[in-house]
Amino acid sequence: MKNILILSFLLISWVNYSQVIPDEIAENSLKETLHYLASDDLAGRKFGTEGIEEAAQYIESIFSTHNVQPFYETYRDSFQYKGETGYNLIALKEGNDPKLKDEFIILGAHYDHIGIVNEEQTVAGDSIANGANDNAAGTASIIALAKYFANKETKRSILFVLFSAEEEGLIGSKHLAKRLKKEKVDIYTMLNFEMIGVPLVDQSYEAYLTGFKESNFAKKFNEYADAEVFGFFAKAKEFQLFKRSDNYPFYEELNIPAQTLCTFDFSNYEYYHHVDDEAELMNYEHMQNLLAKIIPGIEAIANTATKEIQLNTKQ
C-alpha cells in the first residue's frame, strides 16, 4: 500500500511538472521550427534569395494558423536594399486595456543568415551556412512566443517581429525603427533574441543582456520573473554587442530600453558563421526552459500599470 501511495505521488508530480511547459514552447515544437529554418532547402536564408522568401512564407503561415494578426495590411514590412526587396515580418497580439493597448512591446529576432560561403570556408563539400544558432534559434523562439501569447490576454499589445538583412548591417531593423518613429507608434520597450541555442556554462543567470547598464531592464525583469534570468557579461560590453544587433536601432531612434538577450559567450559554441552551425547541435531542452523563465517577465511587462522599465542616463 505504501509503495502504491509513493508511486501515485510520483506520477502526480510528473504530471504536474509536464504541465509547467506550455506546448507552444516545448522542445518538439521548437525543434520542428528550427529544423525547417536551418535546413539545406533554405540554403542559409541569405537576404535577397529564394531561401529567405521560403522562410518568410513559412513564418507567415504559422502566424496565420495561430490567429496572430498582421500589424500592417499584411505581415510584411518591406524595404529596399541594394536593388532587392526585403521583408520584416510583424505580427500583432492586441492588448485588452482601453489605454495600455496603445503601448507596444516588441519581441524580435532576425531570421536571415549568410547563405552560401566561399570556397575557403567550405568544409567537406558543405558550403551552406545553415544558421541554426544564428539565428534560427531566436526566430523559433519568437514564433513560439507568438503562438503562446495568441491565447493569452495582456493589457499592452505585443509585436512579434522577425527582421531581415541583419547580416547586411541591421538594415531591416533600422528601416522599421525609423518607420515606427515616423508613425508615432508608442513603443514601450524592445527585447531581441540572438543566438540562444546553447546554454551558458558556469553562470548564475540564464542569459546575458547586452547594454546591461543602459537601463534597469534586467533588474526589473528578474524581479518580475522571480528568477535570475538576465545577467551582466563583460565581453558583451568589451565587444560592443549592444550596438551590433537589431535592438540598437530602436534604442537610437526611439530612445527606449531596447536590448538583446544571448547565450553565446564565444566559448560555448564554435560554429559562428560556419557551415557546421546545424540544427542537430541545438539544445532544445535549454531553449524551452529559457523561454519558460522568460514568459513571466514578459507577462509582467505587458500587464504592469506603469512603465517601470526605463533608460538610465546616457553616458
Tell me, letter by letter, the H, E, C secondary structure of 43-60: CCCECCCHHHHHHHHHHH
Q: Has residue 15 been placed in a domain?
A: no
Q: Has residue 73 been placed in a domain?
A: yes
> What is the structure's pLDDT at 13?
45
Which candidate, 121, 164, 108, 170, places its Cα nearest to that of 272?
A: 121
Q: Has residue 115 been placed in a domain?
A: yes
> What is the structure's pLDDT at 127?
98
Would you give the DSSP letter of residue 112?
-
Query: What mean pLDDT do residues 131-145 have?
Result: 98
Q: Over pLDDT 90: what percentage of the chain?
A: 93
Give the domain extent around 230.
Answer: 23-303
CATH number of the domain encompassing residue 165: 3.40.630.10
Q: Over pLDDT 70: what percentage of the chain?
A: 93
Q: Has residue 38 been placed in a domain?
A: yes
Q: Has residue 11 been placed in a domain?
A: no
Query: Over 90: is that where the pLDDT of 16 sits?
Result: no
Q: Would you state the cell numbers that stand for residue 214, as one nine-digit string?
A: 543602459
Q: What is the mean pLDDT of the chain?
A: 94
Q: Has residue 315 been placed in a domain?
A: no
More confident call, 133 vs 11? 133
Please state the separation of Cα 189 from the chain's center in Å: 14
Spell out the alpha helix ranges (H) of the chain: 2-18, 27-37, 50-65, 137-149, 171-182, 217-225, 234-238, 248-254, 284-303
What digits encode the pLDDT tens for the residues 210-236?
999 999 999 999 999 999 999 999 999
Question: Taking the model in full, what pTM does it have?
Answer: 0.93
> What is the structure's pLDDT at 15?
42
Query: Over 90: is that where the pLDDT of 153 sits?
Result: yes
Query: Over 80: is that where the pLDDT of 108 sits?
Result: yes
* Domains identified in the chain, total number: 1
Query: What mean pLDDT do residues 250-268 have?
Result: 98
Q: Has residue 27 been placed in a domain?
A: yes
The model's confidence at residue 20, banded by pLDDT at 50, 70 and 90, is: confident
What digits encode the pLDDT tens for the residues 32-45?
999 999 999 999 99
> What is the structure's pLDDT at 315?
44
Q: Has residue 87 been placed in a domain?
A: yes
